[in-house]
Structure 1
Amino acid sequence: MRSRGLMILAGLLAVALLAAGGLWYAQSRGVKGSPEEVSRDYFRAWRLGSLDRMAKLAADPPLDFAGQHRALSRGLSVTSISLTPGPVVADGKDRAHLGYEVRRNLSGRGVWSYRSTLRLGVVDRRWKVLWTPDALYPGLRGAATWRLTEAKAPATAFVDRAGKPLVEGGTLEPYVAELAERFGGDEDDDPGWAVELQYPGEPAQRVKVFGGRAGKKIRTTVDARWQKAAEHAVGAASTPAAVVAIRPSTGEILAVADRLGGRNAFLGRYPPGSTFKVVTAAGLLSDGMSPSSGVDCPATVVTAQRTVRNHDGSSLGRTALRGAFAQSCNTTFARLAVERLHAAKMTAAAHSFGFNGPITPGVGAARGGFPQPGGDAELAEAAFGQGRVEASPLMMAVVAAAVADGTWRSPRMVDAALIREVGDPVQKAHPVPGAAALRTMMRAVVTEGTAARAGLPGGTAGKTGSAEIGGGASHAWFIGYRGDLAFAVFVAGGDSGPTVAAPLAARFLRAHR
């Protein structure tokens, strides 16, 4: 008994020492509070409607912090709110996040529920809420007008690819709302209600519809498990992000998680950065080069009176095209585009991947933009996805899918026949140049290149991108594929494709279960 008592005492002493050690560590850093305490106080204040207390817990709340919350509550006639926070997840020593569900009763006209993310961090040696409008509603960009308007609800239910109801409360809802507007068929006589969001100077967008009796069902291409994995990934991003996933063999869109606001995973126009080197490489392969062709990768090159630098200032010297692609040498691709491709061949390569052509997934989507280069200086910039080149996350997911399958296919969220019925042209599938060689090069990016340390699961291939947007800021990209799944990960203002977007892609792929 004495021996057992000593063991218990020793165990308690060990726990006490560990606790003391943890306290000493926290005090030695001089950090006050904890993410658990701050999030608990924040949600308690939110439940009580104490907007001033919420603002005090935030690191740098905007002047209209309370105004943005009141605009939503008053515009939608919210009578009660329920908040269900999840566990706090550490993102390093001084960053954390937690997902939560919010349910709002809209004057008895419906209960609007969705999931969002609260981000926390150490600011001035104290744990704070890192508040953005996205914490109020996923993808919210700033001050907006909210309305609850009467609307005849379409007598149609949209289900996932397995025929099951789409999970409510995620960032997919605005896309489903547009599908309902376009393919909902006859309206039910039973009136419904619509939640509408409108930014200054922009048209209103419908984000949720309540009421009405659902009659027929329309099957979408959404895969519930991939959608859940995509939502999990963007919820962990520190800035607005999007994930779009496609089945390369069919063009079916399996998942859309969009915290960019305004359906910008489809409608946004962003410089694709070095992910566009997939297209440039396809042009070079069509021009007779191979992955083993010798090329130069200096840290800096002057071509067409344009100084081009590698993103991190690195230099490989003499290497193979495969190595320059894997290490994302801007200097290599800028010089080769000017010396070998010229504007015509570069434009042809872009067209083969769908740039400048219509893209009709069943909801609104922006074309990928590749304007004819006005000279060699513009061509050099375009070769690594800068200048006037623009693409949405959907567009770059299509690029990855085309490489994976060897065939470019129009992406779609519903059956192609439905898309044709509403008058949208569905582009014919066609082969893309150099797909087999591109697969070898994209695999090298993950095994030995810029994404080698991202934790991507085996069998993944892809391309990183860090697209400069001025003021020293960059968007972070990673596009890729694994088996019959292609995807694009985009993090607005995320800075680095290799260190931000590629690990987010790994989180997405590993969350699928």
Structure 2
Amino acid sequence: MERCRVRSRGVAVLAVLVTLALAAGAAAVWLWPGKDEGTPEEVARDYFAAWSRGSLDGMGRLVADPPPDFADQHHALSDGLRVSTIALDPRPVVRSGPDTARAAFTVTRAVAGRGDWTFGSELRLGKVDGRWRVLWTPSTLYPGLRGKGTWSLREVTVPAVAPVARDGKPFPQDGPLQPYLSAINERMEGEAGTGWVIELRDGSGPVQRVKVLGVKATRKVRTTLDRRVQAAAERAVGGRQAAVVAIRPSSGEIVAVADALGGMGAFVGTYPPGSTFKVVTAAALLADGMGAGSAADCPAVVVTAQRTIRNDQNHDLGRTTLRDAFAASCNTTFARLAVEKAGAKKLAAAAESFGFGARVAPGLSAAPCPFPSVGSGAALAEAGIGQGQVLASPLLMASVAAAVADGTWRAPRLLSPELIREGGGGVPDAHDVPGAADLRSMMRAVVTGGTAARAGLPEGTSGKTGTAEYDGGTHAWFIGFRGDLAFSVLVPDGGSGPEVAAPLAAAFLRGLR
């Protein structure tokens, strides 16, 4: 039997027994102050109540268009990990619009007698045909999950290390850093005995290590992570599926990774960077002789290399400057200049100077994100605005912002160069990037009067917004820097960069005060 508890802050809720498969069980006593009919609060309450009873049918009736394998996906997690108890801790519902709302929650599972596994997720709600319903996806079950997950528990031998913060203090064992800390454990030499690893295969993807249980490490390995910055990044991300990566431009040290993308998505996941890539395109143009004040055209629509490019909401600046076109994120300007002035070779060279294709070894695995071979046609126009075949990780885009801030691209790293070499890696040489001074003024203009002007970013912040289109959806991006701190923010499927990612960045920076 599997014991399931549902907790509400300040409200006592009785524990009830449900079947191991979460299919049926004794009725729960659900205590909730008041009753709010016809609202997202009611739907969230009823969904968690059904979960507490082990009623997958009851949960499914509250979901808009539940997938045929809705119950199977829940069974796969509990059965695959031999879960004995579950504790749910729902937060209050937060309305994000007239027809959308979110309810963050924390779930703790006791796994096969090997320990507890705790993580946060989010229940998304929306109006469908005039009625509030749960907008369920696999990421509701586990953040970042995209397909049907295959879960397993495996006994492993682990290195005898315990990664700690730069001040020598430990991290929470169940935070979003856990996959990264586990990967550092794997990289370092030495064995401390055995532990149990939770593994996930997302659809047909590779097996990911999600959590290690029962590890007794003996050697402290000091990372570059700053607990204060890490805490601010985690608070900003909250229960959302998002990532914040922060870097010290002067050293390349990674000081925060708040990753709710699943696995090590901020390092190994790749996404179209959208208009944040205009930093690289602008660098190529600056290297070719343009300046921030050079004349440029920003029509609402342009046809270049047989590709029709439009600006967001068809905005039209007419004859303007490169700086103002950058601040307003003119797709038409940068797509045409990428084709007609920069060209594929110069754009590729600029991308490489900002770390695209570099085999960085920050102390664990990271995607190299090579710049694609785009030729001189429509693919080049799309690449100039960060679309088409261009892909980047949040880690890489944080290093792009850091390179602008300092004028030098440094390989981002979580460990000292000595420890990276001990783990079998290497640190690429630092090098200057083109046009850094002009890029700093252009990124400042984005915040003072451009697409991020209304995001609430603190004084002294510079950055670039991005709204990256893919398969009918959009990723929200913001990259930037303030003082000796550079960062990237990604909200997959989040919508608008100016409206979603930039305010999240503002919350992160305000949280550092």
- Tell me, what secondary structure is at the counterpart of 2:500? helix
**Deviation digits for residues 393-443 of structure 1 (CA, Å, limit 9, x no counterpart):** 111111011111111010111222111223323111111111111111001
CA distance in 2, matches of 1:133, 1:74: 16
State the partner residue of 1:187: 191
SS of alignment partner, residue 312 of structure 1: helix
Shift in Å, 1:195: 1.0
Deviation of 1:476 (Å): 2.0
Structure-2 separation of matches of 1:280 and 1:269: 19
Cα distance in 2 for residues equivalent to 1:87 and 1:360: 40
| C-alpha distance in 2 between matches for 1:44 and 1:334 | 51
Q: What is the aligned partner in structure 2 of residue 422 from structure 1?
A: 423
- In the alignment, what sits opposite 1:221? 224
Distance 1:423 1:108, change over 3 A: closer
Matched, 1:480 2:480: yes
How far 1:477 moved relative to its partner? 1.5
Q: Distance in 1 between matches of 2:428 and 2:219?
A: 28
Matches within 5 A, 1:84-103: 84-103=89-108
Within the alignment, does 1:135 sit opposite 2:136 as a pair? Answer: no
- Alpha-carbon shift at residue 47 of structure 1 (Å): 2.5
C-alpha contact 1:403 1:432 (8 A) present in aligned 2? yes
Amino acid at match of 2:265: N
* Match in the other structure for 2:48: 43
- In the other structure, the counterpart of 1:198 is 201
The verdict on how the C-alpha distance between 1:470 and 1:114 changes in structure 2, with shifts beyond 3 A counting, is: closer
CA distance in 1, matches of 2:243, 2:320: 34
Counterpart mapping for 1:67-216 below 5 A: 67-183=72-188, 185-189=189-193, 191-216=194-219
For 1:194, what is the secondary structure of its paired residue?
strand
Q: What is the rounded CA distance, in whole Å, between the counterparts of 1:100 and 1:168 in structure 2?
A: 18
Cα distance in 2 for residues equivalent to 1:352 and 1:146: 40
Partner residue in 2 for 1:24: none
The question of whether the paired residues in 2 share the 8 Å contact of 1:139 and 1:258 is answered with no
Which is further off, 363-372 or 317-326?
363-372
- Aligned with 1:456: secondary structure? coil
1:302 equivalent in structure 2: 303
Residues 289, 203 of structure 1: alpha-carbon distance in 2 compared, 3 angstrom cutoff: closer
Secondary structure at the aligned position of 1:386 is classed as coil
- The amino acid of 1:371's aligned partner reads P
Give the direction of change, closer, same or farther, for the CA distance of 1:155–1:421 in structure 2 (3 Å limit): closer
TM-superposed deviation, 1:33: 2.6
After alignment, is 33-42 or 461-470 more displaced?
33-42
> Given the superposition, is the C-alpha separation of residues 42 and 470 from structure 1 closer, same or farther in structure 2, using an over 3 Å criterion?
closer
Q: Which of structures 1 and 2 has the bigger CA Rg?
A: 1
Count of residue correspondences? 478
Cα RMSD after superposing both structures? 2.1
- Amino acid in structure 2 at the alignment position of 1:133: P
By percentage of residues, which structure has more helix? 1
The amino acid of 1:451's aligned partner reads: A
Give the Cα–Cα distance (whole angstroms) in 2 for the partners of residues 84 and 261 of structure 1. Answer: 20
Matched residue type, 1:511: G
Cα 1:107/1:467, change in 2 over 3 Å:
closer
Question: What is the 5 A alignment of 1:472-511?
Answer: 473-511=473-511
Counting only pairs closer than 5 Å after superposition, residues 68-467 of structure 1 correspond to structure 2 as 68-183=73-188, 185-189=189-193, 191-235=194-238, 237=240, 240-467=241-468
Alpha-carbon distance, 1:182 to partner: 0.9
The CA distance in 2 between the partners of 1:412 and 1:504, in whole Å, is: 24
1:493–1:200: structure 2 CA closer, same or farther, 3 Å change rule? closer
SS at match of 2:425: coil
Q: Return the offset for 1:99.
A: 2.6
Runs of 5+ unmatched residues, structure 2: 1-35
Q: In the alignment, residue 432 of structure 2 is paired with which amino acid?
A: P
Q: Counterparts of 1:304 and 1:103 in 2: how far apart (Å)?
A: 53
**1:66 paired residue number:** 71
The residue type paired with residue 123 of structure 2 is: L
| Mapped contact 1:225–1:512 kept (Cα < 8 A) | yes
Secondary structure of the residue aligned to 2:124 is strand
Partner Cα distance (2:203, 2:492) in 1: 21
CA deviation vs aligned residue, 1:294-351 (integer Å, no higher than 9, x gap): 1111112223333322232111011111101101112212222233222332222112
Residue type of the partner of 1:272? P
Runs of 4+ in 1 over 4 A off after TM superposition: none
Q: Distance in 1 between matches of 2:74 and 2:353?
A: 46
Distance 1:216 1:100, change over 3 A: same
Q: What is the deviation of 1:392?
A: 1.1
Q: Cα deviation per residue 1:461-500 (whole Å; 9 max; x = unaligned)?
A: 11111222244x3322111112222111122233322222
Residues 109 and 210 in structure 1, CA contact (< 8 A), matched pair in contact too: yes
Work out the CA distance in 1 between the residues paired with 2:370 and 2:312: 23
> 1-side partners of 2:471 and 2:87: how far apart?
41
Shift in alpha-carbon separation, 1:37–1:470, aligned structure 2, 3 A: closer
Contact 2:157/2:192, CA 8 A, preserved across alignment: yes
Q: TM-score, normalised by structure 2?
A: 0.88
The alignment-based identity, stated in percent, is 63
Q: Secondary structure at the match of 1:425?
A: coil
Structure 2 Cα separation of the partners of residues 80 and 423 of structure 1: 40
Kept after mapping to 2: 8 A contact 1:251/1:410: yes
TM value normalised by structure 1: 0.88
Amino acid at match of 1:381: E
